[in-house]
Structure 1
Amino acid sequence: MADAWLPGAGRIPARQDGGRLKGGAPRVVWFTSENDPRRVSARSAACDLARQGRPPHLVWNPVTGEIVQLLPVTRAACLLAEPVRAEGRACVQIVVIGLAREPFTAGPLNGLERIMRWLDTWSVPRRWPAGPPLPSPQSYHSARERRPWARGGHFGASQVPESMLPDPGGLDVHRITGGDAPMMGVPRPRQPVGEQTDPPAALIPHRLPRPAAEPVLTPGAV
């Protein structure tokens, strides 16, 4: 039986979640925290998100390999809007400590295989139905179509229906799901409504405040 909590991950159980899941194809959505992974820990980012009432399921620092879980995968998380956050028998929301303009797949991915094996137990297909996420700022104009979303699999936050987020940027998706992972063709951005590429801050609910002093991390488990 699949474990609702990632074995071996640190835990900061959140008081708030996104409610019951509605069923359907299982999927995972990748976000970025817009922080330097060499200076911000997964635990500190997870605490900030919990305090803001916007907990994801996992927060992962790919440089140190630190993983913190806030919610069981059997409940919806809070970074996506309703109703999409509760769609799927699993809709795993993962925040990666990193920057959309500097895709995290260009660096170390310590701890990724542990996450992927856990997602496999929840039958999340290792595929990208909407293709690889667009780089930022082009990703503000991603298509965000319902048809690929309904298939389940892996998505960037910029590809989720009704989302206004640009992250996680232009990922090398094969480093996440493997070289043989099926996907559709390279996505094309939709026609922008105006010239503005940066949405108001209110549309990016998971962004973390910049700490007054960002301590250098000491790699290690939580």
Structure 2
Amino acid sequence: MPEPWLPGAEIHDLGDHAPTDHQYPPKAIAHITWDRNATAAAPQDWCSYEDLVGYFTGAGAGDAPHLVWDPFTGRTTQLFPADSRSKSLLSPAQSPTRTNRAGQVVIQIEAVFFPYCRHQGTVYPRLVDTPCAGWDRIHAWISSWGVPDVWPMGRPTDFSEHRDEHVWETRPGWYAHAHVPYNDHVDPGSWPDFGAGPGPGAPSDPPPHRQPVPPASTPARYQVTINGLAYGYGAHGYQVTVVGRALVAAGHGSHYQSGPGPDWTDADTENYAGYQVSLGYSGQAADGVPGEASLNRLLGYLPGPRTVSLAHAIAAARTDPGAAQGHRTYGAEVAIVEQALADEGLLEQRWVDGSFGSLTVTAYAGWQRRCGYTAGAADGIPGRDSLQRLGAAQGFAVTD
């Protein structure tokens, strides 16, 4: 399954997810923020990406798209997962479709742009006159969701509208906001090319200053944040080691010359890319930087900050051994405990899987004996003292 979150995006999940209407074909909707009115004679300063992200995560959450995209730097914020509707389209009661949901996906992108904006001293009449930085990554991700490289109502080249309910309901592809029935906006006015040759969706003139696609041999060097922890080149922490060890166990560790360790290097990226390819990802969706879906498939859980709840640890130790093989009551927290036990030499690394099964109970009992407990006090069920000692030894915090 494609990644629900764009690799490399800054995630500000607004919650309030809702399914789309799968009887309609997959779509992507192109918008510009058009937050100021400017002209060739009177350009205005560009409104910053940070301001627009702040708006859509605050007062403007009721109109939020999936992606907020800065075409000057390539920074992108994602507010909803791809398989949820977002909220940037009008969807009045008289519309035959719920426009924000009318597709297997309806991915909406807001470029932070208005015509004749002035950015760092240069005026940009059209979106395609900007560097369009990051577009290739966005396009590859949206393509992975089955949206074809066509504009059923024509590639936008100006601010005229063309709305056709039948085409909207029956044709997959890319739509301008100016194409969506029962809406009144006429943006985006232009949109970058898909990189195709002549044919549907090809540009009448190529957008200048396009950033080239990095060579496939160059490892990706950006970071993502998943469940509060960083992944990608330069990331540091226990979660990096966890991923590296899981890649080795899955047969994708050939690029390591040493390690894996707590610092994410090009070797981690190249190994993770091999793992993504094994899942069926391709292109920039297999660039070696984790997404939430692939990370969850690799580990069976999503690592979190190094904090373990005593109550959760006890519940897992009492529940997981009697449940189905691999059952994870509190996988992320249990994995922290298991890794600590492995680093203490009490549990084989291959059993660090987030499931507090019988082998983990036995290993924890060994830790309790090391702490001086005997008989029934060394039963493998965590207690406050033993868990706090393990946390102090291996660098995690313990809460109630």
> TM-score, structure 2 length as denominator?
0.42
Asked if 1:13 corresponds to 2:13, the answer is yes
SS at the partner of 2:57?
helix
Larger CA Rg, structure 1 vs 2: 2
Q: Which residue of 1 aligns with 2:166?
A: 147
Q: Which residue of 2 aligns with 1:204?
A: none
Bigger shift: 46-55 or 91-100? Answer: 46-55
With over 3 angstroms needed to count, the CA separation of the structure-2 counterparts of 1:152 and 1:116, relative to structure 1, is same
- 1:183 CA displacement: 5.2
Query: Can you list the C-alpha shifts for 1:164-191, whole angstroms capped at 9, x where unaligned?
Result: 001101x255x2453345259x9xxxxx
With over 3 angstroms needed to count, the CA separation of the structure-2 counterparts of 1:177 and 1:128, relative to structure 1, is farther
SS at the partner of 2:29?
strand
Query: Can you list the C-alpha shifts for 1:179-206, whole angstroms capped at 9, x where unaligned?
Result: 345259x9xxxxxxxxxxxxxxxxxxxx
- Amino acid across the alignment from 1:155: Y
Q: Which residue of 1 aligns with 2:330?
A: none
Q: Which residue of 2 aligns with 1:216?
A: none
With over 3 angstroms needed to count, the CA separation of the structure-2 counterparts of 1:16 and 1:177, relative to structure 1, is farther
Structure 2: 5+ residue runs without aligned partners?
Answer: 37-43, 92-97, 117-124, 205-221, 225-400
Partner Cα separation in structure 1 for residue 30 and residue 191 of structure 2: 13
Bigger shift: 85-94 or 41-50? Answer: 41-50
Q: Which has the higher helix share?
A: 2
SS at the partner of 2:51?
helix
Contact 1:31–1:156 (8 Å) recurs in 2: yes
Give the aligned CA root-mean-square deviation in angstroms: 2.7
- Amino acid across the alignment from 1:90: V
Q: Which residue of 1 aligns with 2:158?
A: 135
- 1:163 CA displacement: 1.0
Partner Cα separation in structure 1 for residue 196 and residue 90 of structure 2: 29
Q: Which residue of 1 aligns with 2:53?
A: 46
Task: State how many pairs are aligned.
Answer: 181
Q: Compare relative contact order (CA 8 Å, sep 6+) and give the higher one, 1 or 2.
A: 1
SS at the partner of 1:68?
strand
Q: Which residue of 2 aligns with 1:209?
A: none
Partner Cα separation in structure 1 for residue 35 and residue 194 of structure 2: 20
SS at the partner of 1:92?
strand
- 1:221 CA displacement: 7.9
Asked if 1:32 corresponds to 2:55, the answer is no
Query: Can you list the C-alpha shifts for 1:24-60, whole angstroms capped at 9, x where unaligned?
Result: 2111001111258974443431220232222100000
**Pairwise mapping of residues 24-103 of structure 1 onto structure 2 (< 5 A)?**
24-35=24-35, 39-51=46-58, 52=60, 53-82=62-91, 83-100=98-115, 102-103=125-126
Q: Which residue of 1 aligns with 2:184?
A: 164
With over 3 angstroms needed to count, the CA separation of the structure-2 counterparts of 1:183 and 1:104, relative to structure 1, is closer
Structure 1: 5+ residue runs without aligned partners?
Answer: 187-219
Q: Name the % identity.
A: 27
